[in-house]
């Protein structure tokens, strides 16, 4: 039996209330669809934590910039439904007017980890993320929400949002799922052409090299610059950043005495890839 799909917040709230009435906890996995094994890992983790799982599918326009790929972002609702199988209990797929009935009037801004990195290149991106996630949390009121570490800065922004708003929702991060050659799974990987695919796989390898250099005592700024240069040498068209940051705050650091994270964003052809890993 296919997973039920609801498109109205009232329907979602009614179902969640029924589960709660039966004493069942609820997990939410927010997505923009075009599901792959990385998303399914989030759903699997959600099921481990709660007896009931909701997967939301909504391509959120407020987190796309004016020259980004909103209008061509891959969408396949029936394909996504089939991929989920029985892994979730409900798909919430609101239309734009259901998510933003009065337009995007009140936007949610989160400080702290939203500063720099992606925000330097995608102005307003995390405001859009925080706005839609806050509305999803309001509509679903989950006990737990599961996000991937692949979008590591986003994960920290969502955690900050929950703290700022005093929400009683546990945010759980799931490690990045990768191809055999190390490329992080992403819905945007379908944009990669044949010649681009081999270049894209070098991103993970370069990050590993930079992390190893930093751990061995190389100055962070020097290692970051070497990483950016290595990506260009590997065939990347442009590098937005290679940065080693504090793993909890994403603040710049001078050493790796505390847990650190290396994050990067770079273009293969016209496709922008991001990745990160623990140092």
- Residues recognised as catalytic: 39
- Strand order across the beta sheet in which 52-57 lies: 5-6, 90-92, 52-57, 26-31, 144-148, 170-174
Nearest by Cα to 263 from 119, 59, 125? 119
Q: Taking Cα atoms as reference points, which of 182, 212, 231 lies closest to residue 278?
A: 212
Q: What is the DSSP string of 215-278?
A: HTT--HHHHHHHHHHHHHHHT-SEEEEEEEEETTT--B-S--SS-EEEEEEEEETTEEEEEEEE
Phi, psi of 260 (to 5 degrees): -130, 165
Phi, psi of 184 (to 5 degrees): -65, 135
Query: Do 3 and 89 touch, CB atoms closer than 8 A?
Result: yes
Contact 160, 114 (CB under 8 A): yes
Rounded to whole angstroms, the Cα distance separating 159 from 121 reads: 22
Q: Cα(27)–Cα(45) distance, rounded to whole angstroms? A: 9
Please, are residues 274 and 200 in contact by the beta-carbon 8 Å criterion?
A: no
Token match 């800065």: residue? Answer: 153
SS3 43: helix
């Amino acid at each position: 039996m296919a997973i039920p799909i609801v498109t109205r917040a009232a329907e979602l709230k009614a179902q969640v209330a029924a589960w709660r009435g039966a004493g069942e906890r609820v997990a939410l996995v927010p997505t923009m669809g075009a599901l792959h094994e990385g998303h399914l890992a989030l759903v699997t983790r959600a099921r481990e934590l709660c007896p009931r799982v909701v997967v939301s599918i909504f391509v959120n326009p407020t987190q796309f910039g004016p020259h980004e790929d909103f209008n061509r972002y891959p969408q396949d609702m029936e394909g996504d439904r089939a991929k989920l199988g029985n892994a979730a209990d409900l798909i919430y797929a609101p239309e734009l007017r259901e998510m933003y009935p009065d337009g995007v009037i009140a936007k949610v801004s989160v400080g702290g980890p939203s500063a720099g990195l992606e925000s330097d290149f995608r102005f307003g991106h995390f405001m859009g993320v925080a706005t839609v996630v806050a509305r999803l949390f309001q509509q679903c009121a989950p006990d737990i929400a599961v996000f991937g570490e692949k979008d590591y800065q986003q994960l920290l922004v969502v955690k900050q949002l929950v703290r700022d708003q005093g929400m009683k929702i546990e945010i759980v991060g799931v490690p990045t799922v990768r191809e055999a050659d190390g490329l992080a799974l992403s819905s945007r990987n379908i944009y990669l052409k044949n010649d681009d695919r081999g270049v894209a796989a070098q991103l993970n390898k370069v990050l590993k090299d930079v992390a190893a250099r930093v751990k061995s005592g190389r100055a962070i700024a020097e290692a970051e610059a070497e990483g950016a240069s290595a990506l260009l040498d590997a065939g990347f068209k442009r590098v937005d950043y290679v940065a080693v940051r504090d793993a909890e705050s994403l603040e710049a650091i001078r050493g790796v005495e505390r847990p650190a994270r290396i994050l990067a964003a770079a273009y293969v052809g016209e496709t922008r890839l991001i990745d990160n890993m623990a140092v």
